[in-house]
Amino acid sequence: MHLNIAVVQFEIEQFAPEKNLAKAERFIQEACTQGAQVIVFPEDFLTGPLPGRIDLADFDQRYVKRFQELAVKFGIDIVPGSIIEVDDNGLYNTTYYIDRSGKILGQYRKINLWLTERRYLQPGRQAIVCSTRFGKIGLAICWDLAFPELFRAMIMQGAQIVFCPSYWSYEDAGVGQRHNPDSEALFVDALCTTRAFEQNIILAFANTAASLGASAVQTTPLGHSQITVPFKGPLQRCDHNREMLFVQTVDTAILTDAETAYEIRCDLKKGLPLTPASMETFSPSITHPQSPA
């Protein structure tokens, strides 16, 4: 099966959700003119990270409802980046898979929170895979990419394609920048290729673009949005951090060839190589540090 995936490397206007939504609609329209069937946006792209502005968190799912309307309007499936949402237990970093009829097929709450997120967000607890007209779709968010256990959990539920909205910056390396200023770009590129090969998946990674400039968040998004597959690695990658959209055709038949070559999924079904028994019905119950009061 051939599938046209649009990836948006989006420059965020910090704390301006309506402006970002208006620009997102323009990107969706452009993707449709290029024949895209699914479009994915970056993490936190509607508002930017929210420390100090929790009032912008979504208390009534108004943002996801807007994307449901856009999916119907343009007849395209949407992974709407990620949205900071609120329920009775606190705030969660959440993404969705919305089909072209506006139906929510999957909702995922980020399990592996980045260091700064742990101060104000709660972690999710469950790997999510949903059935779509394009096959089984898994969802991950940013720092999840560094945890192969989550991806194993998704492929054991049959995931073939994983969408990963991200907000990944050069400064995330911290002291590591002394060793290599481009270390995070190297890290992201390596992870995307590795996840595609080791998990036998098609991975669509959408990161933020350019600099947020004078804002409450002094970071430099590294870009490097990409789609990676087994055997080939990146089919298309932004080797920069400028805002752009690209549409890439992927052929899911490559996953059949990868399974023929490596038998990864077959071995996992047999319990090989040795894995914890809980992986058979893996639903992550990951222990996280307690958030400070």
**pLDDT 10s digits, 4-59:** 999 999 999 999 999 999 999 999 999 999 999 999 999 999 999 887 688 899 99
238 catalytically annotated: no
- Each domain of the chain, given as residue ranges in start order, spans 2-281
Contact (CB, 8 A) for 119 and 290: no
Cα(156)–Cα(26) distance, rounded to whole angstroms?
Answer: 36
Q: For 169, list phi and psi in degrees, rounded to 5.
A: -125, 160
Contact (CB, 8 A) for 80 and 63: yes
Which amino acid, residue 48? G
Catalytic residue among 11, 85, 110, 117: 110
Query: Which pLDDT tens digits describe the chain residue by residue (293 residues)?
Result: 999 999 999 999 999 999 999 999 999 999 999 999 999 999 999 999 887 688 899 999 999 999 999 999 999 999 999 999 999 999 999 999 999 999 999 999 999 999 999 999 999 999 999 999 999 999 999 999 999 999 999 999 999 999 999 999 999 999 999 999 999 999 999 999 999 999 999 999 999 998 655 445 568 999 999 999 999 999 999 999 999 999 999 999 999 999 999 999 999 988 876 555 544 444 444 444 444 33
* Continuous segment of H or E residues that includes residue 25: helix 17-33
The 3-state DSSP composition of the chain as helix, strand, coil percent (nearest 5) reads 35, 25, 40
- Residue 272: per-residue pLDDT: 74
Which amino acid, residue 208? T
Beta strands in the chain (DSSP E): 2-9, 38-40, 77-79, 83-87, 90-98, 104-109, 129-132, 135-139, 161-165, 202-206, 226-229, 233-237, 244-251
Nearest alpha-carbon partner for 204 in 2, 9, 1: 9
Catalytic residue among 11, 13, 23, 43: 43
266 catalytically annotated: no
Token pair for residue 33? 């003119």
Q: Where does 2-281 sit in CATH, by number?
A: 3.60.110.10
Cα(95)–Cα(77) distance, rounded to whole angstroms?
Answer: 13
Count the Cβ atoms, other than its own, within 10 Å of residue 59: 11
Catalytic residue among 11, 85, 130, 142: 142
pTM of whole model > 0.75?
yes
Contact (CB, 8 A) for 211 and 221: yes
149 catalytically annotated: no
